[in-house]
Amino acid sequence: MDRRNFLRVVGGGVILAAGSGLVACAAATPPEALAAWQTPGTGETDVRRWVLSYAILAPHSHNLQSWLVDLATPQQITLYCDPTRLLPETDPYSRQIMMSHGTFLELLDLAARERGLRAEITLFPEGVFGPVRPDQRPVARIRLVADAGVTRDPLFAQIVHRHTNRNAYDPARAIPDAAWRAMAAAVAPWPLRFGHVDAGAAQALAAQRAIAIEAWRIELTTPRTILESYRWLRIGSAEVAKHRDGLTLLDPKVVWLERLGLFDRSKAPAPDDSATTGQLDEFNRKLATTPAFLWLVSPGNDRVIQINAGRAYVRVQLAATAHGVVMQPLQQALQEYPEVAGPYRDIHRVLDADGQTVQMWARAGFAEPVPPAPRRGLDAHILRG
């Protein structure tokens, strides 16, 4: 049996059905990878650590968790970007990395408010990074200041319930107007344009589905971009527990392929390999039943805007969570590497964003819940202090 046949058999579930031992490997996420989600902040006496224990629950592209903090100066948090946690192939200008620092800062701000503190956030206090990648200078300096005028934000309560959901969405269940209004209102602090489309505009919905599918096909069949994702795959419970970051894969079929040496993460699969076509088919099925998309567009695209786009995105997701609405970002068509230029142009055109930047585009709907994604835990982020 050659490798491709073997993969097809596995993809068809034959091996899975044959041995109960394999089914037993359909493990849940190991508890040590989820510890950060259990009552964050419990026992923390330094309020900075308390707010940070919520901030590390922020969404981050590929779950890289590139946040490093220095607590050496009392009452101050200095945020840095870990230069070993970037995505140079799919995010060549680190736009998504900056957004992922924005999501962190927004959760930090919400947590500070909960404690009656104003988070005074100074972005890029030693100067703004260049256009390509973060350098050794800080992303932000934060001071937590007691302020009787600070108000709590109800979005705080959603932090521990917010999860990126990659399941199939219910095609028959529309997102209610109240949820769309809450998402739009959540963006209000930030100068980004929020938009959405649903079954009421069938043609627009179909156009967006087609762009998402094409962009995903390009990312999966471009060797350097798929290999970049492979680098962050954590396959099976032991790897997930060890790293507590990246993209979790606990599917027993994949775990066994890996164990049998049939899934080589150093080689990109051919476009017609079942590893590629199987993923494309699954993605196409999910897109076909996706009832809605949403987006955030900014007039410019500098580092501060990218941070603010991340802040706006996580607020949208928290507002959606409060209404039971789930989402999955679809960054493939928004990425700035040459092979994906066609879908990039198309999505900007259909979202009426020529000359602007679509910072976030996501599918949204109702779906079976998913478990939280791993987190490394607060201590892994502390540089000093």
Ligand X SMILES: Cc1cc2nc3c(=O)[nH]c(=O)nc-3n(C[C@H](O)[C@H](O)[C@H](O)COP(=O)(O)O)c2cc1C
Residues forming contacts to ligand X in the complex (CB under 6 A) are 59-63, 96, 99-100, 103, 163-164, 166, 328-332, 373
Nearer to ligand X, 7 or 334 (CB): 334
Nearer to ligand X, 16 or 29 (CB): 29
Q: Least separation, in Å, of the C-beta of 247 and ligand X?
A: 7
Sign of CA dihedral 166, 167, 172, 173: negative
Nearer to ligand X, 10 or 40 (CB): 40
- Tell me the C-alpha distance between 219 and 341, whole Å: 12
Question: Collapsing DSSP states into helix, strand and coil, what is residue 194?
Answer: strand
Nearer to ligand X, 117 or 310 (CB): 310
- Tell me the C-alpha distance between 258 and 279, whole Å: 16
323: nearest Cα among 167, 172, 180: 180
Nearer to ligand X, 222 or 328 (CB): 328
Q: What are phi and psi of 265, to 5 degrees?
A: -75, 0
Closest residue to ligand X, Cβ-based?
Answer: 59
Q: Least separation, in Å, of the C-beta of 180 and ligand X?
A: 21
- Tell me the C-alpha distance between 202 and 207, whole Å: 9
Q: Least separation, in Å, of the C-beta of 191 and ligand X?
A: 18
Q: Least separation, in Å, of the C-beta of 244 and ligand X?
A: 11
Q: Least separation, in Å, of the C-beta of 230 and ligand X?
A: 15
Question: Collapsing DSSP states into helix, strand and coil, what is residue 263?
Answer: coil
Annotate 214-239 with DSSP letters as a single string.
HHHHHHHHSHHHHHHHHHTEEEHHHH
- Tell me the C-alpha distance between 138 and 140, whole Å: 5
Burial 311-338 (b: 16+ CB within 10 A, else e): bbbbbbbbbbbbbebbbbbbbbbbbebe
Residue 252 tokens, joined: 């027993």
Q: Least separation, in Å, of the C-beta of 267 and ligand X?
A: 23
Residue 357 tokens, joined: 């930047």
Q: Least separation, in Å, of the C-beta of 368 and ligand X?
A: 14
